[in-house]
Every structure is written in C-alpha cells, then in structure tokens.
Structure 1
C-alpha cells in the first residue's frame, strides 16, 4: 500500500471502511473498503467516491460496502472537508481535481471509476477532462451542472448569494457555527438534501454529528468551504465552457438524479442528458440531492448493472454460487 497512517477517527468502521491519511502535498484522509482479491479474476475496476460541498467520506457508507464485493472501493475526503484540512486555495474544485488525480496515481495506481455527488460530480468531470488516462468511467449522482433559466428555489439561491459575497459569506458561516449545535447543523443538511428527511439513517446522522464536533476545532474550515463554493459557482457561471467540457468526455457516463433535488433541479439533469445522448440517465422519483444516502438500494440497483454492462465489473456469472 502507498505509505499511509491510520486515521485518528474511524467513523466509517461500522460500515467496513478503514480510514487512512496519506501525504499528498499535505495530509489527505481516505477510507478503504477493500475489495475482492485482485489475483482471483473477480475484481472489477477500482472505484473512487467523491463527496459534495460540505460533505465527507460518510456520504458513501450506504453504497461502498455493496460495491466492494466486486471492486476495490475508496472514499476520499477532499481538501477542506471531512478529515482533510484545506484552505480557500486548496479547496477549489480545480485544486481538488488535481488532488484526486494524484490520489488515483499514487494510492490506487490504476484507472478508476469515479462516483461523484454534487460538487464531487463536477470535480470528477474536471479530472476526466484533464487526465482521461486515469478514468475508466463516471457515475454522476446529482452533479453540480448548469441550471436552465427557471424559477429557482429561493432559499437555496439566497444562501448561495450569501456565500458568493465577500465578507458577508464569512460572517454568515461564523454566525451559523456559533448559533447551531452540531446535530442541528447535520439535520439542516439532511432537511435540504433529502426529499424525505425521515429516510436518513440515524447511525449515519450520529457519525456526522461526531465529525461536525471534530471539525469545530479545525482552523480555517469556513474559508475552505467558501473557497470551494465560490470556485464551483465560477464554473457554473460559464455554462458554454462547462457544457463543452462535458461533451468532450469520452468515457462511459451514468447520470443518476433525484427528481425532487432542490439544489440542482431535475430540469438541469434533463438538459444535460439531452446534450449528451451517449450518457445513460436514470431519474429517481420522490428523491432529493443525495440519493446515495436517501435511497441507497435504488442507487445500487442502478449502478451495479451499469458497471457490468460497460465491462467495468466482472459478470455475476463469474461468481460461484
């Protein structure tokens, strides 16, 4: 294994993940879910999972264990999130795409299937465009993509306007950190990202609260969050360039999108799907922005056959009963 040390917090342990920290121009936290023995012929292409804005490796605990039956599965905390420290500069989507490229080269050591949610979908596409030799396929789950002109979700729009405004965004996040408990902050994210917050796994929420409490002691986390958010909005502000980048990706792509996503409306996914007819697209009714957390069984039922169909996983028939 690439030189790594055990992570101080092992939050993914209940789901079979082991946390590690590697030095990739600074400490980077990642979770190893293992996989089949690479020598027995039953291993598919390795899978690297990439969380969204404000997310972490915990976003993948509902999906990673199942995929690790046929793939070596990794979940990375991007710079500025989870247990990976970051700054406004290192947490941008462009910087995290380069960090992810280095992770694939130095830790995984072979091309991977990237599974990205929200901002993680954008980072995955930036990597696929810049370093196609590192990417065998893309699974985009409610990725950050250009939004067609329509009536926006006013609460979401107002929040991102605050993030975009210098000084105001910093003050807003500092106030929210002071006023809200860790559990309130985690529940607020669930309420925003789930169509039905009642579907949230209490164990995942509890782990998220532990992580939020740990992050209170991490310096500069608000600056990193805003650096990431502002870089994401900058990419979205040039939709022509972003659409061109997406259409230039020459790897198999699966787009999965919740029809009740408040952050990236389903109309955006339908428009991107129409522009990229080679992509396979699945829409999930009554589901929000994080389907892999809200309806993990439905996401698995979509992703596993797609991986097989594109020769990225061993066929089910290769396994003995």
Structure 2
C-alpha cells in the first residue's frame, strides 16, 4: 500500500490528504503519487463507490477525483449491505441517494444505480469505462471490511483487466492522527495530545459526463424491501421480523396475555405531504432528520440555534422534535442526527465545524475554556468527538492485533460494538459479561470452551469496554434487544446463552421474549429477583434521568477509580491474584471514555421487577445456575433456596468462588459449561427425531 499526498491546497483544509492509500493491482510496487503534479492525472478515469459517504460536501475522494478526465459515481444495492439496515435507514438511504443524484446532475454528472454483488458490478464497470482508479472508503465493521476485501480480490484476479488499476482507500480525517498503532488506549491520554479537529472540505465539482451510460432507476421503498427479501429463506425472514417488535411492546403483550395495538407507520401519502411541506423528517416514523446534505445542514443550524427561537416553520419543527428526543441532557442530537451521520450524508467534522462556528458567533469569536454557552452546541460537538474516538479505537483494533482475541466490529443502531468468535463449528455459545466488564473478562473461557468443539462468541455490550458509549438512556430492555439482534445478524443460529451478573438478567429477558433464538441458559451469579406471586402491574417502562442520578454516577465513578483494586479483590475471595493489573487497567481505561457517566446513570434506573421465575418459564431442564457461594454482593444460599423453590427444572452447581466464578475458577466453569452443552444438544437431537 502506498501513500497518496496532495500538494494542492484547499481553503478549508489544514493538512494534506495523508489519509489516502493506493494499491496498484497490476504492478507490485510502492509509490507516492501527488495528484496535483502527476502529468497524466487528467487522462485518468475513476469509479467512485459510495457506501456510507452519501454527500458531495467534505468528501476527500471526490476532491481527489475531480481532477480526473472521467469519474463514475456508483451506488450498489448489495443485499449484504442492505440487510443490516432497519426500515428507517432504508428510507433515509433512498432520500439521500435521490438528493445525491440530483446534486451530481446539476454538475453535469450523475449517480449510477446498480443491483447485485458489489464485486461483480464494480469489475464490469471498471472494464466498461477503462477505469484507472477505484475509490473506496475505509470501513471498520467486520462484514464491510470482508466485502471490500472481496472487491479487491475480484479486481486483482480478473484476467479481463489488462491495464494498471489502482484501488484508492480513503477516509475523512477528523483528527490528524499520524499512526493508528500509536493511538493511546485511554481517552484521557488522547486528550492530552491536544489534537485539533481538521477543517471540512468544500463540495467537489466532478467533470461533466459525456459518455452515454445506463444510470439505472432509484427503487421505491417497497421495491427495495422485496429485493432484499428475494434471497431470504423463511427462517431468516421470520427472524428479521423479530427485530421490528420492540422488547417493551412484546413484554407488555406477554404480561397482559392480549394483543396490544401497535401504532401504525405513517403511510406514503403523509410522507409525500411532509416532503411538500419541506419537512426534514421524511421517514415513516418522522423522528429522524433525513434528506440530502443541504437539508441536514439546515436542520443542524436549527438545532444549534434552539435557544434563539424562530418564526420559520421548518426550524420550529426541528425544535419540537428536539424537545421530544431529549430523554436526557444532550441525547436529542444522536437521536435526530445519528442515522444520517451513519450513512455519511453529513460528516462528523462538518458537524463539529458548524457547531464551533456558531459558538464563536455567540461569543464574539472566542471559545470559553469553561465549556460551551449553549447545550445544543455541547450536545453536537461532544457527540461527534465521542463518535470519532470510538471509530479510531475500532479502526486500531482492525489494523493491529494487540488484544487477547481477534476483535471484530459490528454496527448496531449506528453504534460500534466489539465482539470476537473462536471455533469454526459446533454448538453456538454466546458469553455475556456483567456491568463494567467486557468480552475479555472471559479471557480464560473463550478458547478453552471452543477447544471442546464449540463455536464461541463473546461480545462487549454497548456502553462498556471499547464498545461505543453514546448519550442515550440505557435500560435492561435495550441491552436485551442488542443481544437479540446480535444473534440474528451476526451469529445466525440459536445459541446457548451464558451471562454473569446483570448479563445473566439480560440473557434471561432474551430467552423469555425470543425463545426460538435460545437453546439453553447458563446464569452465573445472576442479577434479578424471584417474586412468588408476580403480577404484571409491577412492571413500568417509564425511565427518567435526574440531576441526582447524574451526581450519583459522577460520585460512583470517582469512588471506583480510587478503590477499584480493593473492590475487585472482594469479588475474587478465593483467588485475589485474578484481580490483576491487566484487569484493573482495562477497567480504568474504560472509565475515562466519553459517555461513561451516562452508562453509570443506568444503575439508578434499572428495573428488575420482571422476576427470574417469570422469565425462565418454559425452560425446564434448560437452565443451569452456576453460583459462586462467596459472592460479596448477595446471600448465595438464600438466592439458591428461593430459585429452587419457585423455578422448576433448574440445574444448580455451587462453586467456591465470588461474584465472577468464570474468571476466578475458569477450569471448573469451562468443564461444567462444556458438559452442559453436550447434554442439552443430545436432548435436542433426540427430541428432533421423536
């Protein structure tokens, strides 16, 4: 891979494009190419593959390609990409593509729309237009990186391409990070580097397309849904339908034993009406900002100026949605603009640039060292800085292998989630950690269990470890939905669910609400209560954050940082050496991540009112309780006694351990888990033949 540098300067760019890399797939050589000085630049032609960069504004690849003789902008409707999108995201995608195409047409260019496998589409187009460059934005998600790898390999091995073809990987640099491998592990250390965000680029102007090409039509939403479903089998389709039902609605239905009316989506007519009214909330639900880049910038201007008030109808609509989405301080920005940022309709650094520009306007050109003067500015600036930090962490995990396990990235509802998988075949086992931990807390379990012929998955839940920590309201139902979607989208088959502490409660919810995804449940010192005569009126979906909760989270964080070593040792009463420097440092590292106090606030609003005896109904002989009998957080004997009394068909194993038996006594736990999975699989096989 070689580095592309640009001596050409841009008005709003403070540093050169060292975030490009180019690979010649015909000549195995290293080179540095300056597109401003190369004599043959204007004779070159390019295919620019749009994925999550649906904009002309602040687009480094477009700015590089505009000097080419010919540029073919391309979007491929590839099921491997589309299957990851919710209906809202699909709608947002269609509106963004329509705007992108119109913007390109105004320049005399166009956006080609194709369907199928991206590698085949790109290969044929490269051949048709004799492209010398293919521009591809770098991704952090595992599946997307795999897809890009397939595209590269297809182009490299194609015998029909008999000229030099360069694959140009690019990204939009928010910070001028020279070497990802030297990125500090701690956000606290990263801030000490005092890197300033780079400035966004002005919209690029591509050369006029004079070649006759079939640009292809944009599909309707219903056509796109049918296209995605064409290759799905019935099991896959039914599993995907599960994701459309919120856990809260399903839980209420189960509790009331009656069908609850679900609000219907807005019909196409109401969408068209809002488009005529120039609303920026164009999707069926009408709760996220959509459209093209200019529409997003207008909505962002309205959002930032919330305190000023306005007579403009479109801005008043943004202000109303802001108030509705402000479930906690600053949460409205991610709720309203997060999906558009995920699709790249607007860049993170453009948001930051506009927020800081407005802040300076409010303060006579100055930035206060004591914080932002408007909550809306703080929400926008803090959100994109946080997104960028976790994006850098995710990218670093993909280019360097420094951890205990090979890390993969999954994007869930726009947020970056870390996971790992070991073993190629056998029963699927999903390990879920407790509060404050991460997938590496199963450091001595994952490989050992996989070596016994199992397919073992470990995940770091949203808000923990190096997974993203967005400014949202965290609930046990949110984490349960995340596990459900992970099983459906990533694992792809029913699993044996293993959960420690609060993770045990999460997996119990998953087992109760979506039993077709779960083969058995293993709970290790699980959270959750037993309520003998449970009635549905105990459950409430209302969650409120308060100043007291925020203060409590800050005090708790301060206490944990000071006392983490002693606290952890109390959790490991029989093997205090397992509370080692590695574990302590990993937890301390995560405690400095942006958003960590928001996650800690959830402790003060957890609702464990749905008891374990209700959640585990129907799982007779499919639930294993592993209990560390020296748990400092609860009376283990009393917990087991009430579980035995009110939950039928439980298998229980008592262990000489504390709150985290899997890490304190890993060999014993691994052996028990493997034996349990073999026994359950044997029963499932026997039942399938009976």
TM-score range, shorter chain: 0.7 to 0.9
Higher mean Cα deviation, 102-111 or 266-275?
266-275
Equivalent runs, 1:226-241 vs 2, <5 Å? 226-227=601-602, 229-232=603-606, 234-235=607-608, 237=609, 239=611
Post-superposition offset of 1:306 = 1.1
Cα deviation 1:214-246 (Å, max 9, x = unaligned): 541x2221121222x2453x21x454xx42222
Label 1:90 to 1:2 Cα distance change in 2 as closer, same or farther (>3 A).
farther
The aligned residue for residue 223 of structure 1 is: 598
Label 1:115 to 1:238 Cα distance change in 2 as closer, same or farther (>3 A).
closer
Post-superposition offset of 1:77 = 1.2
2:553 matches 1:173 = yes
The aligned residue for residue 274 of structure 1 is: 645
The aligned residue for residue 476 of structure 2 is: 93
Cα deviation 1:47-91 (Å, max 9, x = unaligned): 111111111112211211111121121111111111222357453
Distance 1:230 1:260 in 2: 25
C-alpha contact (below 8 Å) 1:186/1:209 kept by paired residues: no
Post-superposition offset of 1:180 = 6.3
2:393 matches 1:18 = no
SS across alignment from 1:310: helix
C-alpha contact (below 8 Å) 1:142/1:264 kept by paired residues: no
Equivalent runs, 1:72-151 vs 2, <5 Å? 72-87=455-470, 89-146=472-529
C-alpha contact (below 8 Å) 2:549/2:601 kept by paired residues: yes
C-alpha contact (below 8 Å) 2:416/2:468 kept by paired residues: yes
Label 1:274 to 1:4 Cα distance change in 2 as closer, same or farther (>3 A).
farther
Post-superposition offset of 1:249 = 3.6
2:572 to 194, 204, 229: 194
Label 1:133 to 1:288 Cα distance change in 2 as closer, same or farther (>3 A).
same
2:412 matches 1:29 = no
Distance 1:273 1:13 in 2: 44
Post-superposition offset of 1:136 = 1.0
C-alpha contact (below 8 Å) 1:117/1:142 kept by paired residues: yes
Post-superposition offset of 1:165 = 9.5
The aligned residue for residue 32 of structure 2 is: none
Label 1:87 to 1:277 Cα distance change in 2 as closer, same or farther (>3 A).
same
1:71 to 437, 454, 459: 454
The aligned residue for residue 312 of structure 2 is: none
C-alpha contact (below 8 Å) 1:145/1:268 kept by paired residues: no
Label 1:190 to 1:178 Cα distance change in 2 as closer, same or farther (>3 A).
closer
Q: TM-score, normalised by structure 2?
A: 0.37
Distance 1:63 1:186 in 2: 23
Distance 1:19 1:178 in 2: 29
Over the aligned positions, Cα root-mean-square deviation in angstroms equals: 3.0
2:654 matches 1:283 = yes
The aligned residue for residue 319 of structure 1 is: none
Which sections of structure 1, spanning at least 5 residues, go unmatched? 149-163, 314-321
The aligned residue for residue 253 of structure 1 is: 623
2:56 matches 1:56 = no
C-alpha contact (below 8 Å) 2:409/2:416 kept by paired residues: yes
C-alpha contact (below 8 Å) 2:407/2:418 kept by paired residues: yes
Post-superposition offset of 1:250 = 5.5
Post-superposition offset of 1:8 = 3.1
Cα deviation 1:250-279 (Å, max 9, x = unaligned): 571111001111223211133113322312
Label 1:27 to 1:89 Cα distance change in 2 as closer, same or farther (>3 A).
closer
SS across alignment from 1:260: coil
C-alpha contact (below 8 Å) 1:80/1:225 kept by paired residues: no
SS across alignment from 2:573: coil
Distance 1:65 1:84 in 2: 21
Higher mean Cα deviation, 105-114 or 67-76?
67-76
Structure number with greater Rg is: 2
Distance 1:95 1:200 in 2: 31
The aligned residue for residue 679 of structure 2 is: 309
Which sections of structure 2, spanning at least 5 residues, go unmatched? 1-141, 147-393, 532-543, 684-690
Q: TM-score, normalised by structure 1?
A: 0.76
